[in-house]
Amino acid sequence: MSAPPLPDIFGNYALGDFVEVVSPADISWMPHTAGWAWLAALLLLVCLHRGWRRLKHWHHNRYRREALARLQGLQPDRLGEQFVAEVNKLLKLAAMAAYSREKVAGLYGEKWGEFLNRQCTEAPFSTEQTGLLATGAYRPVDLDDATAENLLQASLNWVSEHREASDV
């Protein structure tokens, strides 16, 4: 059984000529004045400038990251008597990357240790450690574990905390 057919005119006869209300167009989020465009351009330039400076700083300090990784990879028990020479070599490479070759390459002995300590706000190397760095590159030194660990930690501190050549 099916429903009877609907008449041609169905529903409320008063609403026959009714027209639906049309919603207004969405409000645009684009600024309507030039000031906002200038402000957006200025903010974009500031962000680009800061990003460029951060990228430059990150790229300039790649020698620090590499020196820290190499120093952390040193094992005093495996290197034995050559440990101080390896630490000294890595410190010299990092110093030559941070400062000019002319300033660093000719330093040896006590002047080398003094130079390293002058580059930090607090001297990372003790008198004993600067003596080790001064002589350990030229003659093998057998260190106990605690002394080797302290020298390695002081070297890590120097690499991460020394001032740049432009700051000196």
Kindly report the pTM of this predicted structure. Answer: 0.70
Range with lowest mean pLDDT among 5-9, 20-24, 74-78, 158-162: 5-9
According to DSSP, residue 119 is labeled T
Q: Report how many domains make up the chain.
A: 1
Assign 1 a pLDDT band (cuts: 50, 70, 90).
low
**What was the pLDDT predicted at 166?**
58
Which residue range(s) make up the domain with 141? 62-161
Examine residue 143 and state whether it is found in any structural domain, yes or no: yes
Structural domain includes residue 34: no
CA atoms within 13 A on the CB side of 149: 3
Question: Residue 121: what pLDDT?
Answer: 87
Q: How far apart are CA 60 and CA 54, in angstroms?
A: 10
Report how far residue 152's alpha carbon sits from residue 129's, in angstroms, rounded to the nearest whole number.
Answer: 10
User: Would residue 10 count as lying in a domain?
Assistant: no
pLDDT at 134 over 90: no
Kindly state whether residue 88 falls inside one of the protein's structural domains.
yes
* pLDDT in the model for residue 168: 47
Q: Is residue 23 part of a domain?
A: no
Residue written as token pair 């490479």: 93
Rounded to 5 degrees, what angle do the CA atoms 147, 148, 149 make?
90
pLDDT tens digits, 24-81? 888 888 888 899 889 999 999 999 999 999 999 999 889 999 999 999 998 877 777 7
**41's tokens:** 């351009």
How many whole angstroms separate alpha carbon 34 and alpha carbon 7? Answer: 60
Per-residue pLDDT band for 165 (boundaries 50, 70, 90) equals low
- CA geometry: angle at 163 spanning 62 and 131, to 5°? 100
Q: Taking a C-beta distance cutoff of 8 angstroms, is the pair 149, 143 a contact?
A: no
Q: Residues 74, 86: contact at Cβ < 8 Å?
A: yes
In a domain, 50, yes or no: no
Query: Residue 9: its pLDDT value, please?
Result: 67
| Region 107-135 average pLDDT | 87
**Average pLDDT, rounded, for the chain:** 85
Length of the chain: 168
